Structure 1
Amino acid sequence: MTDARPADATPRGIAEELQLAVALLVRQWRAAAGDGVSLSQMSVLKRLDRLGPSTASELARAEKIRPQSLIATVNSLQAEGHVARSPHPTDRRRQLIALTPQGRALVGLRREAGHGRIAELIAERLAPAEQRLLAEAVPLLRRLAED
């Protein structure tokens, strides 16, 4: 269902509409995955997939969360078998956190489920010209999201 109101083209109006649209897309991704893993847990798993083994402080900094919050997330992921800890090779006071094969498989499955569902929606709901417009908007959204 689409909203019949014209979009407010001010930065504040765009931000409001973008926030709503992104929230609805996130719901679509979550529904497609259906695996019970929270967004914060999935974010950490995807970060480890991209960065490789990392310390808790590195992950907390990258995720922009407090180390205590990250430790709680990592503990739950470890309990589920998605990550494992090992001694840091040069600093025995720290530990490296890495994906397990199970965690790597979950990242792949979640990525495929989410991408597949959104690709399906793009193909079903957007005309070719709208698909091109959306493709042109993606780099702009990335710029907004970057540090």
Structure 2
Amino acid sequence: MSGKTSDYETIAEELQSIVGALVRSMRSASPGRELSLSQVSVLKRLDRDGPATVSDLARADKLRHQSVAATVAALVDRGLVHRTVDSEDLRRKLLILTEDGRALLTERRLAGHEHLAELIDDRLTAAERKQLATSLPLLRRLLD
């Protein structure tokens, strides 16, 4: 390829910029903004995958154990995550999402979805909304 940027690279760069801005916009509309991205990531993983150890979380996200341990400690202090002994291996401490943690995630999701739905309704015409809807399967294929 020559020094010239390909159409695909231009599309990728623009898509990355737009997706990032949309995520930041949705995040700013949601409660619990004082949470760091790593804290939200831990909450989401525990919600999606169930109880895990700090080591499990660090391995899953390819992060240092110490970084995840600090993140988890902050979540435990806020009552969003609970530590419990693993009944199958009493040496292990499992992390469990508390009801407060689950409620915060639900509030964040709903606020973000509502914010994005309002933007779609307010800023796009009916034809543009239809065009956006038809492009969603293409975007989803990028994840497969």
- TM-score (structure 2 length as normaliser): 0.84
2:50 partner amino acid: G
Task: Give, in angstroms, the shift of residue 46 of structure 1.
Answer: 1.4
Cα pair distance change 1:44/1:126, threshold 3 Å: same
**Aligned pair partner of 2:72 in 68, 71, 74:** 74
- Is residue 57–residue 68 contact of structure 2 (8 Å, CA) maintained in 1? yes
- 1:138 matched to which residue of 2? 136
Task: Give, in angstroms, the shift of residue 25 of structure 1.
Answer: 0.8
- 2:18 matched to which residue of 1? 21
2:107 partner amino acid: L
RMSD between aligned residues: 2.1
Q: Unaligned 5+ residue runs, structure 2? A: none
Q: Deviations over 1:85-108 (max 9, x none)?
A: 111121222211111111111011
CA distance in 1, matches of 2:58, 2:141: 22
1:14 partner amino acid: I
Aligned residue runs from structure 1 range 50-129, under 5 A: 50-129=48-127
Q: Which has the larger radius of gyration?
A: 2
Q: Count the aligned residue pairs.
A: 139
- Is residue 44–residue 63 contact of structure 1 (8 Å, CA) maintained in 2? no
1:120 partner amino acid: E
SS of corresponding position for 2:63: coil
Task: Give, in angstroms, the shift of residue 132 of structure 1.
Answer: 3.0
Q: Which moved more, 1:32-41 or 1:113-122?
A: 32-41
- 1:41 matched to which residue of 2? 39
Q: Unaligned 5+ residue runs, structure 1? A: 1-7
CA distance in 2, matches of 1:129, 1:68: 50
Task: Give, in angstroms, the shift of residue 139 of structure 1.
Answer: 3.8
Cα pair distance change 1:69/1:145, threshold 3 Å: farther
- Is residue 31–residue 107 contact of structure 2 (8 Å, CA) maintained in 1? no
